[in-house]
């Protein structure tokens, strides 16, 4: 399935948006996409690597690498579509703008935004978050606290009981996988290693090694 910046289906009623840095995309991302497609009954799920991320302090890996790795992770998943549009924008990329575009491309469709619990906790700090709420239903997967040492550690789920915005919970196991920790482990293992193979697909591990990604982890 090729990278797309156009609608991935002609007639749909339920459309999902799953955005993120995907730096790199890992096994929990894949499972979350599968759960969202099944539980929400989506006709199409747009996988949207971030362009210029207004909320990220660190520079992201090149869009070409993140898109290529997303194709490796999601390319064989029926009804999933790797969508390049946010990486093609000039300037900061905002979720509200993408939802507006999707609403125009799929007139009358119900929109869902797939996020993790950590994103839900920070949701009201997003630019134009009220507009996002008006455009889409939040579909939230539980995640443990994130950090550089979180990749293989066991811990508690993030507490979202006090969040005062409506959302639909997604039912999936709690995965202790952190992209930050994956980048650190990739660096320590010179791009490959047994721990890395437990966190990302073999194809992504090979891609990281071949392109010498994350040799200076941040």
DSSP 86-132: HHHSSSB--HHHHHHHHHHHSTTPEEEEEEEHHHHHTGGGSTTHHHH
Measured CA to CA, the distance from residue 170 to residue 152 in angstroms comes to 22
Q: Tell me, what's the pLDDT at 56?
A: 58
Mean pLDDT, the chain, whole residue set: 86
Arch. (CATH architecture) of 14-177: 3-Layer(aba) Sandwich (3.40)
The mean per-residue pLDDT over the stretch 106-122 comes to 95
Task: Find out whether 44 and 13 touch, Cβ atoms under 8 Å.
Answer: no
2 pLDDT above the threshold of 70: no
Strand 44-49 relative to strand 14-20: parallel, antiparallel, unpaired?
A: parallel
Q: Tell me, what's the pLDDT at 72?
A: 98
First and final CA of the chain: distance in angstroms?
31
DSSP annotation of 139 reads: E
Q: Tell me, what's the pLDDT at 86?
A: 96
Query: What is the reported pTM?
Result: 0.86
Any idea where the domains of the chain sit in the sequence?
A: 14-177
The mean per-residue pLDDT over the stretch 9-13 comes to 69
Measured CA to CA, the distance from residue 185 to residue 143 in angstroms comes to 20
Token representation of residue 16: 């999902």
Q: Which of 9-13, 54-58, 202-206 has the lowest mean pLDDT?
A: 54-58
The mean per-residue pLDDT over the stretch 173-199 comes to 77
Q: Tell me, what's the pLDDT at 150?
A: 43
The mean per-residue pLDDT over the stretch 118-133 comes to 95
Where do we find the tokens 């007639």?
A: 11
Show the CA angle centred on residue 182, arms to residues 181 and 188, nearest 5°: 90
| Model pLDDT for residues 59-80, shown as the tens digit of each residue | 899 999 999 999 999 999 999 9
**pLDDT band at residue 218, thresholds of 50, 70 and 90?**
low
Measured CA to CA, the distance from residue 20 to residue 18 in angstroms comes to 7
Question: 41: left (phi > 0), else alpha (psi -120 to 50), else beta?
Answer: left
Q: Tell me, what's the pLDDT at 84?
A: 97
């Amino acid at each position: 399935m090729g990278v797309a910046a156009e609608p991935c289906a002609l007639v749909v009623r339920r459309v999902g948006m799953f955005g993120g840095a995907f730096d790199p995309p890992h096994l929990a991302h894949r499972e979350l996409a599968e759960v969202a497609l099944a539980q929400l009954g989506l006709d199409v799920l747009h996988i949207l690597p971030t362009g210029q991320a207004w909320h990220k302090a660190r520079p992201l890996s090149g869009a070409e690498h993140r898109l290529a790795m997303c194709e490796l992770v999601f390319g064989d998943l029926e009804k999933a579509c790797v969508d390049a549009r946010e990486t093609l924008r000039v300037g900061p990329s905002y979720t509200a703008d993408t939802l507006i575009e999707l609403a125009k491309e799929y007139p009358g469709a119900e929109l869902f935004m797939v996020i993790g619990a950590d994103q839900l906790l920070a949701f009201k700090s997003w630019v134009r978050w009220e507009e996002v709420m008006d455009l889409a239903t939040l579909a939230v997967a539980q995640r443990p606290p994130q950090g550089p040492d979180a990749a293989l550690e066991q811990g508690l789920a993030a507490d979202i009981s006090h969040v005062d915005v409506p959302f639909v919970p997604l039912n999936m196991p709690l995965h202790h996988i952190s992209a930050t920790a994956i980048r650190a482990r990739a660096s320590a293992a010179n791009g490959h290693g047994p721990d890395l193979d437990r966190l990302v697909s073999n194809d992504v591990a090979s891609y990281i090694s071949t392109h010498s990604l994350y040799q200076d982890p941040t």
